[in-house]
């Protein structure tokens, strides 16, 4: 999934749509990509802000606010503290979209800098904020995703930033290390949507002249395609009962990577875990039953457009047995990450789950 909140990103995503549609059936790489990937694109999240920018310049900020004067970039529930901002209709629409899909990978496009920023944007001592870095359980994957975009961009990888005061080695940054913010979209997607999202700052000038927009597309074209391919990192599969029926809300996570809101299967019993190539223990847990552990060796399958497939079948579970579903807390307590996740203990569990899904690229 990809969505934009500023002018350059909006134009780039429109070009991306055109490129994917016109290349399908003609370009073998794009054809294979689209045959194996579901892509959702939202060119504009804040149409009010876009229309309000009548006299744009490089540093004009009016476009970041909607008609109600609210900054949508700070409007999501926060993973570390209570966000007092009133949820706006645009934000709620995106949250509903996330809930009703199974997004796995996404990017949101911004302007004002030239860097790929990754979660967390906020933090506490448990995630390393005292050292100026807020680390998620999947920090290695996020670094890889950010580097993938930066290294395939025409100049982002140089890390020069937009002025002498701001440099980004390799063209990437941890969001918190850059500057702390509350209510950001990428943290929300990762925590509640089970979706790995990074923020792409694509232009030093927020509202460049129209004749420069074509060059921005050329600078970002290869990076966008390579980034989409990363949806095929890691492992995916289905969790079923003894009759082969899908089991929704089963917890499936890699051992040693606990999430405060454990990652769960969707209504079709499907799970998707983005992981770098390597050996992992994957744990599947159906509440009330013994967990199943499987060791997998994950190759780099992005070029084959298919993540490693590993299914789980629970012979003791029937379609008449369904777990009680409850919501994750709106403010997860990241202190819980210091304890072993329930999803990685091979014992019998009684767990409370919820269904919250997100999809960007599936």
Q: Which pLDDT does position 8 carry in this prediction?
A: 85
pLDDT at 172 over 90: yes
Paired with 200 in beta bridges are: 109, 116
236-294 pLDDT, tens digit each: 999 999 899 999 999 999 999 988 889 999 999 999 999 999 999 999 998 888 899 99
Handedness of CA 309, 314, 317, 323 (dihedral sign): negative
| Bridge-based pairing state of the strands 105-110 and 196-203 | parallel
Q: What residues are annotated to the active site?
A: 201
CA contacts within 13 A on the Cβ side of 202? 33
Q: Which pLDDT does position 350 carry in this prediction?
A: 26
* Distance of alpha carbon 123 from alpha carbon 127, whole angstroms: 6
* Distance of alpha carbon 47 from alpha carbon 110, whole angstroms: 14
| 96, 204 contact by CB (below 8 A) | no
* Distance of alpha carbon 196 from alpha carbon 296, whole angstroms: 21
pLDDT at 153 over 90: yes
Q: Which pLDDT does position 58 carry in this prediction?
A: 74
pTM here is 0.88
Q: Which pLDDT does position 360 carry in this prediction?
A: 39
* Distance of alpha carbon 235 from alpha carbon 217, whole angstroms: 31
- In the three-class reduction of DSSP (H, G, I as helix; E, B as strand; rest coil), residue 245 is classed as coil
pLDDT confidence tier of residue 344, bands split at 50, 70 and 90: very low
331-340 pLDDT, tens digit each: 666 665 554 3
Residue among 251, 209, 272, 281 at smallest CA distance from 355: 251
85-137 pLDDT, tens digit each: 889 999 999 999 999 999 999 999 988 889 999 999 999 998 999 999 999 99
- Residue 293, exposed/middle/buried by CB under 10 A (0-12, 13-18, 19+)? middle
* Distance of alpha carbon 105 from alpha carbon 361, whole angstroms: 5
pLDDT at 295 over 90: yes
pLDDT at 39 over 80: yes
* Distance of alpha carbon 111 from alpha carbon 58, whole angstroms: 9
* Distance of alpha carbon 17 from alpha carbon 309, whole angstroms: 29
| 114, 146 contact by CB (below 8 A) | no
- Residue 5 main-chain phi, psi, to 5 deg: -130, 15
Q: Which pLDDT does position 336 carry in this prediction?
A: 52
């Amino acid at each position: 999934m990809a969505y934009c909140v500023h002018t350059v990103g909006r134009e780039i995503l429109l070009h991306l749509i055109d490129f994917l549609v016109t290349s399908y059936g003609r370009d073998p790489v794009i054809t294979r990509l689209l045959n194996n990937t579901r892509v959702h694109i939202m060119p504009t999240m804040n149409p009010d802000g876009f229309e309000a920018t009548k006299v744009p310049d490089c540093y004009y900020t009016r476009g970041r606010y909607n008609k109600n004067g609210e900054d949508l970039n700070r409007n999501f529930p926060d993973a570390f503290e209570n966000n007092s901002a009133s949820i706006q209709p645009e934000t709620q629409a995106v949250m509903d979209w996330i809930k009703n899909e199974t997004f796995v990978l996404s990017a949101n496009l911004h302007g004002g800098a030239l860097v790929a920023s990754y979660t967390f944007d906020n933090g506490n001592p448990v995630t390393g904020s005292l050292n100026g870095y807020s680390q998620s359980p999947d920090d290695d994957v996020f670094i890889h995703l950010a580097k993938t975009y930066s290294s395939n961009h025409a100049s982002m990888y140089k890390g020069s930033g937009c002025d002498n005061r701001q440099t980004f080695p390799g063209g990437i940054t941890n969001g918190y290390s850059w500057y702390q913010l509350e209510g950001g979209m990428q943290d929300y997607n990762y925590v509640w949507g089970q979706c790995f999202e990074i923020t792409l700052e694509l232009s030093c000038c927020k509202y460049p002249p129209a004749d420069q927009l074509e060059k921005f597309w050329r600078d970002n074209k290869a990076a966008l395609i390579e980034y989409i391919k990363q949806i095929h990192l890691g492992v995916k599969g289905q969790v079923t009962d003894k009759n082969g029926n899908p089991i929704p809300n089963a917890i499936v996570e890699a051992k040693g990577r606990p999430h405060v809101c454990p990652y769960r299967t969707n209504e079709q019993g499907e799970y998707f875990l983005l992981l770098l190539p390597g050996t992992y223990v994957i744990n599947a847990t159906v509440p009330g039953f013994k967990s199943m552990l499987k060791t997998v060796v994950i190759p780099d399958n992005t070029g084959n457009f298919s993540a490693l497939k590993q299914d789980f079948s629970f012979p003791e579970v029937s379609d008449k047995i369904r777990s009680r579903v409850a919501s994750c807390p709106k403010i997860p307590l990241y202190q819980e990450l210091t304890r072993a996740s329930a999803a990685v203990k091979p014992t019998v569990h009684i767990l409370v789950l919820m269904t919250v899904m997100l999809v960007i690229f599936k």
